[in-house]
Amino acid sequence: MASCGNGVRCLQAELAEHGVDLADDLAAMEAEMGVRPQAEDKLSDMGRRVLEASRSLGYSFELMPKIVDPEMCTACGSCVFGCAQGAKWTAERRWRSGGPRC
């Protein structure tokens, strides 16, 4: 699922229980969209505090899989509203780049 710049797999196990295996399709989509964990230097101040607190308490902290170009991201925290810098992957960008169409 892609939402607010996040690229998170959801319902994969539940669908597999019904014979629907999306592993290869999801992997292909993740590769095309450039899904990767958010860079630590792009965390908000609050995100950084949560990371530090969790590590100090011995908890693991996994960075959110993002569909954001870290080179273009300014860590403004406005992913939910859109991206003025154009760092988030969009279907429009794919369309304009001449990628395959349905």
Task: Kindly write down the DSSP assignment for every residue of 33-96, as one continuous string.
Answer: HT-EEPPGGG--HHHHHHHHHHHHTT---PPPEE-B-TTT----S-GGG--TT--B--HHHHHH
Please report the pLDDT score of residue 91 as a whole number.
77
pLDDT band at 100 (very low <50, low <70, confident <90, very high): low
Overall average pLDDT of the 12-38 stretch: 92
Please report the pLDDT score of residue 26 as a whole number.
92
Judge whether residue 80 has pLDDT over 80: no
Provide φ and ψ at 94, rounded to 5°.
Answer: -60, -45
Whole-angstrom distance, CA of residue 58 vs CA of residue 52: 10
